[in-house]
Amino acid sequence: MTRMIFVNLPVADLKRSMAFYEAIGFSNNPQFTDENAACMVWSEAIFVMIHTHASWRRFTQRPIPSADASEVMLAIGLDDRAAVDAMLDIVAAQGGTADINPQQEHGFMFSRSFTDPDGHIWEPYWMDPAAIPG
């Protein structure tokens, strides 16, 4: 079996969140989508399940963090620096907040960060493993 990861996130407005994730490059898998949750696909092995708060409560009673809290930062690799910048160009227009942390420039790696409309932190990055200093 292929190893996969399903990141699960609570969201306040499912349709708004679906539109946000589609705008930054995810696709929707309707097989696992209904009025309570949506499966947003990044790759063959990486999926983000966005849940209404009621749907989230089916899995845990732990508090849903406020949009200004940080519980986790999700880093996703992109093909090049331009793709990182292009994703961040879309974020604000779709209800997210771009550049919530300083850009990271290490020569072999470049990253920026943003929050989705619910405050979940994402860090798109580009990395050239061959250029990592020995």
pLDDT in tens, 42-58: 999 999 999 999 999 99
For residues 72 and 79, the answer to whether their CB atoms sit within 8 Å is no
Tell me how far CA of residue 79 lies from CA of 16, 53, 86, 87, 114, in angstroms.
26, 33, 11, 11, 18
Mean pLDDT of the chain: 94
Q: What is the pLDDT of residue 131?
A: 85
DSSP label at 133? -
The pLDDT confidence band at residue 1, using thresholds 50, 70 and 90, is confident
Mean local confidence (pLDDT), 59-81? 90
The three-state secondary structure class of 36 is coil
Q: From CA 22, how far away is CA 15, in angstroms rounded?
A: 11
Residue 134 has pLDDT above 90, yes or no: no
Number of neighbours of residue 72 by Cβ within 10 angstroms: 9
Give the residue extent of every domain in the chain. Answer: 5-54+70-131
Q: How far apart are CA 120 and CA 10, in angstroms?
A: 9
Mean pLDDT value of segment 117-132: 93
**47: β partners:** 6, 41
Whole-prediction pTM: 0.89
So what's the pLDDT on residue 67?
Answer: 83
CATH C-level class of 5-54+70-131: alpha beta
Confidence of residue 126 (pLDDT cuts 50, 70, 90): very high
